Each structure stands twice: as C-alpha cells, then as structure tokens.
Chains A and B, each alone.
Chain A
Amino acid sequence: MTDFVQILVSGLTVGSVIALVAFGYNLVFAATRIVNFAQGSMLVVAGYIAFAVTRAGVPIWGAFLISVLASLAVGVIVEIVAIKPLGRFDPETNVGWILTTFGVGLVAVDLIKKTVGAEARPLPPLASSIFGWKVAKFAGVAITVPDALLVVSAILIVIGLERLQTRTALGRAFRAVAEDRQTAGLMGINTELIVMITFALAGALAAIGAVLIAPRLFVKLDLGVNLGLQAFIAAVIGGLGSTRGAIVGGYVIGFTTAIVSTVTSNGGSWGPVIVFVVFLLVLVVRPAGIFGSPAVEKV
C-alpha cells in the first residue's frame, strides 16, 4: 500500500514537473512545426529572473508575475534571434532551426552563468499552506502543498491551453498557421506575429513552470538540458503539438521512473533506460506519438 501511494504521488509530481516544461514545446510546435529546443533554457532564465526579483525583497507572487512578463519578452527574443533570420523555410526538410534554437538555449544558459553564477538558487513556494493545511499523509507518504499545487496547476494548464487552442480565434490562427502558413497568410492572418506570440506564450509557460518546480528542484543551470531533454521525450511520447499528450507523456515518464525505482533495488538507475525503450517503441509503432496526428506524406 505504501509502495502504491508512493508510486502514485511520485509519478504524478515528477510527471507534472516534466509536463510543465513540455507544454512549451507543444505550444510552439502546434503552430509552427518547430520544436523550440531552447525551452529548457527559457525555464532556467525565468527561474533566475524570479530569484533575482525575490532577492530584491519582492514577495514570491510579485516575483512570479514579473518573471512571467519578462519571459514573454524572452520568448520574443528567442524567436527574433533563432527563427526570424532563417526567413521562410520548410521545417520538415530544412532543419537549421534545430541548431539555432539549441544554440540560443546554450547561449542563454552561459549568459546566466557569466552574470548570475552557476550556483543552484532556491525560490520560496507560492503557497506553503492552504487554509492552514500544510502536509497530508497517506499510508505514511507525505504530500506537501507545493507538490499538490504542481499537480493541480499542470492539469489546469492543460485545460486552459486546450480551450485556447480549440475555442478562441487565436487558437484557430495557431492551427491554420500550422496547417499551411502561406494560405493562412492569404486569409489575413499575420503569420509572423502568430509565430512570435507562440514563442512569447512559451516563455510565459516556462516562467510558470520554473516557479512551480523550484521548491522541488531549485533553480539551476542544468535544468535546461536535463529537464528539457526529459520534457522533450515526454512531448514526443504524448505526441508533439498535443497538450494533453504532454501531460500523458510526463506521467508515462513519471510513473515509469517511480515504478522502476520501487521495484528494483539499485535506486532506479534502470529508469532512464526503460523510459528510452518506451520512447523508441512509441516512435517505431506510432511516430506521431499517442495523441499526435500523423503527417500525410505528400509526393
């Protein structure tokens, strides 16, 4: 029973952490067919912004808002630096964008390293108690408020993003641009603006993720690559472009890791191997992921 609850709690929280990063990949991919490999680095940048603001004495909620706003700008900068200069290109065949987004991520992390330093920084949780409730215990497993907040926020974000994508004019524009950028432009959609908006929103998502994750993992530089890579795998498993796919992919990784570390004796070192096997299986059987729609091959 303890094991079961432990797996459930750990799987949900780790899965939500991963999903919070993966949402950013999906949002951009859903509109542009581009994966922003700088997403993990944007999370690091947002985290350090929040940290810098809290150190200046601003309470965490204020820091959270400032970080979200600043990260909108970070997203735009990433787009201007990594995507704009490439001009018009077909992301299917011309994969230069992989290098530019990856490169801008490396540059961003190194700039933080040079200016702020490489130490891991703490952030206070957004809420340490809800109506006086701090920690719940089920079968000896502690559930803290920040963890609960993490899990609930991830689910809320899925609902919010899916509504944005399916029920709003902006969401329709995203999908139109993804489907056929040229035609979308002819229909009066400012496609360049749409692409920029997705990057800005991805920046904001990175800030939300950073502040929610920080109580658990701190703000540190290697989140960019490590968490970014895991989130990427989650996004691919769930289906790039699908928001619910991101959270399902996150849960797949979270639960796999949790189950493996409970079942095996050596502390879960098999976890990443099995996650990779799952990842490969998904790609072999269903390259578009669980919720992705397979691309039609045109000749």
Chain B
Amino acid sequence: MAKAGTKPADTGEVEEVAGEFGQGVLPLYRRRGELIRFVPVLLLVLFILWFGSSQADSRKWIDIGTEAMYLAIAAAGVNILLGYTGLLSLGHAAFFVAGGYAGAILSPAIGLPPWTGFLLAFVGSAALGAVLALMCCHLHGFYLTVVTFGFGALVPAIVVVAKDQLGGPAGRSVDHFVDTSKVPGAHGPFSLQLGLFYLSAFFLLVTLFLCWNLVRSRWGRAYMAIRESEVAARVSGVNAYRYKVSSFALSAGFVGLAGWLGAQRFVLVSSQVATPDQSFRYVITVVVGGMGTLAGPILGAFGFSLGFGITWVQNTFRDYQGLLYGALGLIAVATAPEGTVGNLRRYARSYQLRRAKRGVAAKPVPPPDVAAELKRPAVREREALEGDGEVLRVAGLTKRFGGVAALSDVDLVVKRGSVHALIGPNGSGKTTFINVVTGLYKPTAGRIELDGTSLEGLSPAARSGRGLARTFQNLQLWRRMTVLDNVMVGAHGRNRVGLVQSLLRTPKSHRVERQLRERAWGLLHFVGLADRGRDLAGTLAFADMRRLEIARALASDPELLLLDEPAAGMQVSEIHDLAELIRQVRDAGVTVLLIEHHMDLVMGLSDTVSVLDYGQKIAEGPPAQVRRDSRVVAAYLGEETE
C-alpha cells in the first residue's frame, strides 16, 4: 500500500507535494464558470479548422493530421486508465485492432451502414476490455500490467487461429469504408482524406467532451481515489474492482474508436500494430503529454504525430522508433513525471503564488456558504429496528495471521449515540479490529452485526453503504485530489449516477453533483477546513489532514464512525479541538468508536471504554472504573497480576 502519512506536509505551499510518477497533477486556482478554461478547447477547434483548410492540398499532412486526431483519441482512452485510475496497461494496442475489426469489418458485414461502425468499434473493444479486466482487476499493482502484457502476445495468435475471419497476420482490407468525401468541409483533390481528417477531429472533440464530463463526475473522482489510495476508496463505498473494470472498458472503447478511424485511413485492419512496442508508445504519448490531465494526451499525440511529419525526424527515427520513444520514456519518467501539461501548470501555479504574495492577484475565492443543516453530520433515515440501542454487536471475533492470534474471541457492543473507546497497548489488536469490522480483513471466526443485521461476506464498500465509516491511523487521504473532492468521494455510496449519465452529464447527474458539492462544503465548514477546500489534500497540515479524514468519513452519513487513533501526532491544543469535534459528531447522532492512546482524550470523552491486550478483551466499563482495573494497569505498565 502507498506509504501515505509518512511524509506529512506541514506547510501550505503546494510545491511541497513533489511530483512522482503515476500521481495526478496540480489543479490551478480558478473561479467556477471562469471562461478561461474553455480557451484550450477553442484553440483546438481553431487548430483543426486552420490545419484542414491550409493543408487541404497536401496529402501527406492531411494524413498526418488524421493520425494525430485518432492517436489523441487512443491516448485519451489510455489516460482514463493510466492517468486517472493509476493502472498501467501494456496491451492497449490490441484494442486498436479489435476496434478496427469490429467497426470496419464486422459492422458492415452484418449490414450496418459503414459510418455507424464507430458504435460497434467502441462497444466491441469496450466489451473485450471488460472481459480482460474482469479476469485481472483483482490483481494488485503491476500484476495487472503483467496480464495486459501477456494479452498483447495473444493477438497475433488469435488472428492466425481465426484466419478465415480475420485474415491472418496480413489482416483484412476494408471493403465498405466510409465515404468521407461527403463530410462537410471536404473538398479538393484529396476530399476523401480531408473528410476523414474532419471526421477524426469531430470524434476527438466528442471524446474530449465525454472525458471532460467523466473526470468531473462521481465516476471520475472514484477512479482518482483508487489511484491515490485504493484502501481508502474501498472503505468510502467505492467498489474498487467494479470501477477498475469500468475504467478499463472505457479506455479500451476509446482506443477501439481510434482503431476504427485508423482502419478508414489505411483501408486495412491488421494485427501488425498490436505489439507491446505500440502499446508502450501510447503510454509514452500520455506520459510525455501529461497523465491525469485532459490536455496532456492530446498534446502528446499531436507532438508525436506532427513531429513525425517533419522530414528530418522522419528520416532519422522512422526505423528507430524504439530509440525515440524509449529514450523519451526514460527521460520523462525520471525527470518530468507530470508531463508537459503538469509542468506548465507548475509554472502557472508558481506565477499565481508569486502574484498572490505581491498582493497583485485577487484574493483566493472564499468558500461558498451553504445551508446550516448541511453544516453538521447527519444520520441517515432508517426504520426503527429491533434491538435498537445497539449499533454494533461483535461476538466471538477471532482473527489469526498464520499462528498469531491478533484477535481472539472478542465480544463488543457499541450503544447508539455513545462514544465508545477501544484502548490497549501497541500490538493489542485495535487496528486489526477496525480492519475486520470494516471488511478489509476476513475474520477467522465470529459475528459482526450492524443495526442487527450481519455484515458477513460484505465488501468494505457495501459496509460503507450500511453505515460504517472510518479514518486511518496512517492517513489514507487522496493527496492529489482537492480537499473538496476528498469529501465528495466520501459520499460516494449516498448517490447513484450511472456511468453513461456521468459521461453525458445529464440533468440528473448535474443535479446530484450540485447537491454533493454543497454537502461537501457543509462538512468542510463543520470541521473548519472550508478555507482550504480548493487546495490539494496533500498540502494540508498534519492535524488538518486528520480533520479531513473525519469530514470524508462523515460524508457517507454513517451510523457508526470508527476513528483509528485520530490524535496521533497532534499537539495538545489540537487534541483539545479534536475532542470538541468528536463531541459535536456524537451530539449530531453519530455513534463513535474511538481507538486512541491519549488517555486524557479517552477518559474525557468516552461513555464506555473497552481494553484489548494480546487480542483479548480484558476489561470494559465506564472510564473511571476501567482506569482502576488492575489488569488494565498491568497491561499498560507490565506488572505481574495476581
């Protein structure tokens, strides 16, 4: 797991969060609705129109322009997986070929008009990607890359096996291609090519529109949360496996769309391009442009494609693409992991900061105020249950790691509306308890009930849905997302907006987004972090990070909030504030299970205290009573007991 928390950022300077490969890039301070963010899109459209009209007589440059467009679509697809979800695939070139076969060969063969091929190209590749992802998205880190890499080896074998349908290594020619000379704007001697250029450009704009919506939606934020800390995403209600599969499928779909356009250009679909080298080129295109940004893949694709149009580059590197991409990959990963766009943003950011310091720039935009009822924790509406009064009932809970029993036969009941503390020396099993209750670990034996229903077999995400929320001792914030986004993902399970709705930003999706954002601002007001809402979570001070974790956990409107050593590393005054915050949480109706070492905090806050030692519960009762318990004293001070 990521070693978050080992490096607390103790200044507010954004520059403290150094860029590392695979992380997101800095957002700029912007006002909502500022038109400046549409400038890049406008430039792109102007570029397309200028390029199309000025190069209409040059077959070479039109073809290069077309390639730039569909390579950008493919790179945007790879970016969804790599840049936003943090998963590296070295097999995506296969989806380019799959899209070509599905859209340009299969689609016309079943009688659909050639121009509708893009649908089958997208859907077919996405389906293939989903099948592959279903088999490999349970794998961690680079094992997923391993499967995609092996998948690349499969494609040449498949085309040989299915020689009659796919035409073997030579591929199949596209007999029913799109008559692109009828595309608006196509004219002149190369109207077919020019039409394809405009068609590709149109699809690039559509891709950009969809990605734009995606990253500003519940789905895009969930992807980024998985990238930053998968564990935290899971306990916040994100079914990581499902989201990784969807991200993989989406990204394969866009690469397939690019493959369809490529098939139109070459009037041929061949598996020759489905090599690991080609997949690597997609990845390098995204990395050099800037992972996790919308403009990055497009910039990278344009740079490479148009660069190859220069005669010198073409003559030097045509046969030595490995040299070019390999060297650029080495340089980019080692020295500029944030890519071109990331570095440009870094310059822009420091310019903003310098101006702000000189007092030239406008003051930071104040956080929006929201209705008072949104500024406090809420308890979800529920039916009255039997055995009410008990939020959590744990019976006979045992967890063994090999021969070591981290928990043995623990019984625990947490009463509704109380603050229940769980204390014990280091290594006594407190954090294991939380991990088992939230579903990160499977118990060896025992029952866990929340509100009278068993949690057995439920995933961490599903348990979040049932009303469990937690914080982490070693801070698992999504550091390269904004403070506000952190809280918004916290409410992930509290709303349902489908992927298609998010991609198209339907009115429903828009409405839910607005409600979510208001709620998140409200909770930031509650924990006192509203002023920092637009900053990256990684730039917060240590104590603020802990408060943000609490706000994120509260966003799911939990029945029970599990706080794992919230005061660790805090100063005395900060601990005092924290105690006040926990009290307010309880007063709002949220039950709190507090794991803590600071006895002042525990004794001052708790209604009940349970003590763990070597995985066993050795005492329980009101704080004053537990404090005098001889076994508790012995466990902490190591005295012999009678």
Residues of A participating in the B interface, judged by any CB pair closer than 8 Å = 35, 81-82, 85-86, 89-96, 98-100, 102-107, 109-111, 113-114, 225, 229-230, 232-233, 236, 269-273, 276, 279-280, 283-284, 287, 295, 297-299
Contact = CB atoms under 8 A, between A and B. Distances in A.
B181 interface: no
A273 B161 contact: yes
A295 B142 CA distance: 13
Find the residue from B22, B150, B283, B326 having the highest chain A CB count within 10 A.
Answer: B326
Given A270-B157, A276-B151, A283-B136, 11 more contacts: A103-B329, A106-B326, A110-B326, A232-B149, A236-B150, A273-B154, A283-B143, A287-B143, A297-B1, A298-B1, A299-B1
Find the residue from B3, B90, B150, B321 having the highest chain A CB count within 10 A.
Answer: B150
Label chain A's interface by main secondary structure.
helix
Nearest to B287: A99
Contact of B156 (A86, A107, A272, A287): A272
B158 interface: yes
B320 A299 contact: no
A154 to B, nearest CB: 22
26 contacts: A35-B142, A91-B141, A91-B142, A94-B20, A98-B88, A98-B145, A102-B276, A102-B280, A106-B325, A107-B322, A110-B326, A229-B149, A229-B150, A230-B153, A270-B161, A272-B157, A273-B158, A273-B161, A276-B154, A280-B136, A280-B150, A283-B135, A283-B139, A295-B140, A299-B231, A299-B431
B636 interface: no
B370 interface: no
Contacts of B337: 96
B432 to A, nearest CB: 9
A229 B147 contact: no
Contacts of A109: 322
Contact of A225 (B161, B276, B329, B335): B276
A145 B74 CA distance: 49
Given A91-B142, A99-B287, A107 B154 contact: no
Label chain B's interface by main secondary structure.
helix
Nearest to B401: A296
Find the residue from A91, A98, A109, A284 having the highest chain B CB count within 10 A.
Answer: A98
B280 A99 contact: yes
B2 A93 contact: yes
B276 A96 contact: no
B441 A299 contact: yes
B141 A95 contact: yes
B333 interface: yes
A163 B200 CA distance: 59
A104 B157 contact: no
B22 A96 contact: yes
A283 B440 contact: no
Nearest to B168: A269
Interface in B283-334: 283-284, 287, 319-323, 325-330, 333-334
Contacts of B138: 284
Give the 5 A-B CB pairs with smallest separation, nearest first: A106-B322, A96-B21, A272-B157, A106-B326, A103-B329
B127 interface: no
A83 to B, nearest CB: 10
A225 B231 CA distance: 35
Contact of B327 (A90, A107, A273, A284): A107
